Amino acid sequence: MQVQLKQIRRIAGTAAVTGASLFCHGVQAQGTNAKEAPQAPPLASQIAEHDVTADLIKPAANLLSTEQRKMVEKSGREIRYFLPIQMTEGFIYNPSSKEYDKVSLRSYGRNLSGIPNVLRPDFVAPTVVMKPGQTVRFDLSNRLDKEPDCEKVAADNVNTPHCFNTTNLHSHGLWISPSGNSDNVLLAIKPTVNFEYEYNVPADHPAGTFWYHPHVHGSTAIQVGSGMAGALIVKGDRQPTILSNGDLDTLLNPFKPAAGNYGEVMLMQQIPYACFIKDAEGKEVIQTNPDGTWLCKKGDIGVVKDFSKQFEPGSWGKSGRHTLINGFARNPDRPLVMEAGKLYRWRLIDAGVREPIALRIRKISDVRKLTPSAATPEALEAEVKNACDGIDVLQFEVATDGLTRPNAFAKITNTLQPGYRSDILFSLPEKGDYCVYSDSGATGSVSSLPDNAKVMTVIHAVGNKTSGDQTQFVTKELVRAAGLLSRSVRDTIIRDLKDGLKLTKFVPHKAIPESELTDPKKPVELTLGIDFRGEKLSFDVNGAPYKPGDVNQTLILGQVQEWHIRSYNPTKDGERSVQHPFHIHVNPYQIISITDKNGVDVSALTDTKAPTIGQYAGLQGTWKDTIMATPGYTIKTRTRYQRYIGEYVLHCHILDHEDQGMMQNVKVVLPDGNGGASTGAHGAHGSH
């Protein structure tokens, strides 16, 4: 492997000398080796242009459509994407065997070559890009196999995972309508059915990093675990003015890679593919190595099909599978090639089903200590301890869940829970090799999740530039970029940046003071948990599993409420310490406080190293749509119910927990003019 890294260094060094643009991810090393460099996920528009079967979808049309469609697409007011859903054969590099495992996955991608695509894995979902004020249409085509009578699996309990080929589309984090053919997660699109979604993105929608995935109750985990998840970027070109805030993109444009915003995407997934064999009793079991890790031999095809085996607690850590970044597992032949002493932005997306990622970037003192064939939790932990022991790279978080923070917050360890997004700025202080790894212990006590460190990829930094003090370097670069903005606000922005890297003129939502609450004495109390006291586990919200016909939270348009969110998992003799990431659709919320058992507000702390406390440090005042609830902690949030009425859901974003019942229906309704909820124009039609 040392020889392979030396070859990469030589090629990258040559590219740097000749003036090539080097950037991560997809990492592009332009020049003679460009064809061998990994690439970012394809843009969804590229899929639309080249998908030869796209004509199976018939868009809505009348005699006026042809010219009108051309006009609106040319003007940019409307954009259309095709998303075919089908079984896709592809290949995933397996570091422990140094081979490409063949897989067949439900995906938005497709393999036209039939051979390993080492530059852009075919199952990786395309990146969707949209702008505020656009109408965005998705033609979703479900080409998966029919499952006759699959509903019978859940006839006695709707919270039994079932109908794994029934799907829909959810745009995680977008502030758009949840009704009709917009972001409606209560739809079920069965095999052979095509459906056109229409997103009317408001002109004042924040620019940022979001993502999309299926959301049918009972099949969400197995489809997302099969690779059905893609980045969704809302691009922004609105500069701040004296009267209004602007998009962070306008400040960060000078640091954008040649591929544009989508070239900054770091889509992280855990795909628990396995190869099955029959045991002595004729039952299908997962094929394993002697050490218990999962095995796919040459000629086998890895699949994601058995919910109970492939998503059981602890299975990911035992599997020996690796977190993928844009479809790539770590490969010593293809490290991320980047320049030292240069500012980068990464749009981190944890698109996994249940695995937390405590992201850390650290210099490698000696690349010979890397053991990329490590597979067991113990071996992966040992590799990190032995090799990733140099200087830490600070991650300056500028946005949480796609929404710009009040200030850039410096972290050594950046904890991402399922559903989280984190936009970070960073610079590699000097040339050399760096581990990008998930640290251990940073997420606290989570009995159902593996808690071992593991290298996800390696960065090879080239060039002779250095960045020195990382905080000073980031501040200097951002101040330089601010000098390119409008004169009317330039001085204000520069003054803010020099005062603790404040991003005041780029925050999209106004803070919610207590005085704005509709009724401060009536917060929404919400508890996520698993009840371990019965014969079977019960996955609950406020003590009850999901019932599709019930509306559990009726909210009134225009009101402002505080929510208190907790995790509680009762057992016969106490409780278990299991965390649950709380996610709600449509309207984001502001973090007011996160208090521990002693009443300490850990969201106001700045020590990101400490276990459990670390993942909450610096979150006070930020806006999010997903937050991890830890037993013993109380999370206080505030939210405005704005613009949209309709029914949607809140749930745990450990997706197998959601599929098994940790979800509630939410409905936003019109006010009745007397402080209450309207029942609709025909009485009872307005509520369940």
Whether residue 107 has pLDDT greater than 90: yes
What is the pLDDT averaged over residues 81-87? 91
- pLDDT tier at 148, thresholds 50, 70, 90: very high
What is the token pair recorded at 575? 């409780």
What is the pLDDT averaged over residues 405-413? 96
User: What is the spatial distance between Cα 680 and Cα 668, in angstroms, rounded to a whole number?
Assistant: 12
List the alpha helices (DSSP H) in 462-602.
Answer: 470-482, 487-498
What is the pLDDT averaged over residues 56-72? 74
What is the pLDDT averaged over residues 325-333? 88
Q: Which of 109-123, 201-215, 406-420, 629-643 has the lowest mean pLDDT?
A: 109-123
- pLDDT tier at 611, thresholds 50, 70, 90: low
The one-letter code for the residue type at 10 is R
Q: In the prediction, which pLDDT does 677 show?
A: 85
- pLDDT tier at 606, thresholds 50, 70, 90: confident
Whether residue 575 has pLDDT greater than 50: yes
- pLDDT tier at 584, thresholds 50, 70, 90: very high
pLDDT tens digits, one per residue of 482-505? 999 999 999 999 999 999 999 999
Angle at alpha carbon of residue 536, lines to 531 and 538, rounded to 5°: 35
Per-domain residue ranges for the chain?
32-88+97-237, 514-686
- pLDDT tier at 687, thresholds 50, 70, 90: very low
What is the pLDDT averaged over residues 262-288? 94
Cα of first residue to Cα of last residue in the chain, in angstroms, is: 62
Tell me the torsion sign for CA atoms 479, 481, 484, 485. Answer: negative
- pLDDT tier at 452, thresholds 50, 70, 90: confident
SS (H, E, C) 281-324: CCCEEECECCCCCECCCCCCCEECCCHHHHCCCCHHHHHCCCCE
Whether residue 29 has pLDDT greater than 50: no
- pLDDT tier at 428, thresholds 50, 70, 90: very high
pLDDT tens digits, one per residue of 230-240? 999 999 999 99
- pLDDT tier at 506, thresholds 50, 70, 90: very high
Q: Are 443 and 631 in contact (CB under 8 A)?
A: no
Whether residue 628 has pLDDT greater than 60: yes
What percent of the chain clears pLDDT 70, i.e. is strictly above it?
87
Is there a common fold for 32-88+97-237 and 514-686?
yes
Q: Are 4 and 433 in contact (CB under 8 A)?
A: no
Q: In the prediction, which pLDDT does 57 show?
A: 60
Q: How many CB atoms lie within 10 A of CB 581?
A: 23
| CATH class for the region spanning 32-88+97-237 | mainly beta
pLDDT tens digits, one per residue of 90-102? 899 999 899 999 9
306 vs 687: which has the higher pLDDT: 306
Whether residue 31 has pLDDT greater than 60: no
358 DSSP assignment: E
**Cβ partners under 8 Å of residue 444, min gap 6:** 577, 579, 611, 612, 615, 630
User: What is the spatial distance between Cα 624 and Cα 415, in angstroms, rounded to a whole number?
Assistant: 14
CATH superfamily of 514-686: Cupredoxins -  blue copper proteins (2.60.40.420)
Q: In the prediction, which pLDDT does 682 show?
A: 60
- pLDDT tier at 562, thresholds 50, 70, 90: very high
Whether residue 585 has pLDDT greater than 90: yes
**Cβ partners under 8 Å of residue 529, min gap 6:** 540, 543, 567, 568, 569, 570, 578, 580, 662
Whether residue 686 has pLDDT greater than 50: no
Q: In the prediction, which pLDDT does 180 show?
A: 96
18 vs 557: which has the higher pLDDT: 557
Whether residue 32 has pLDDT greater than 50: no
Q: In the prediction, which pLDDT does 69 show?
A: 75
SS (H, E, C) 249-277: HHHHHHHCCCCCHHHHEEEEECCCCECEE
Please indicate, yes or no, whether the overall pTM of this predicted structure exceeds 0.85. Answer: yes
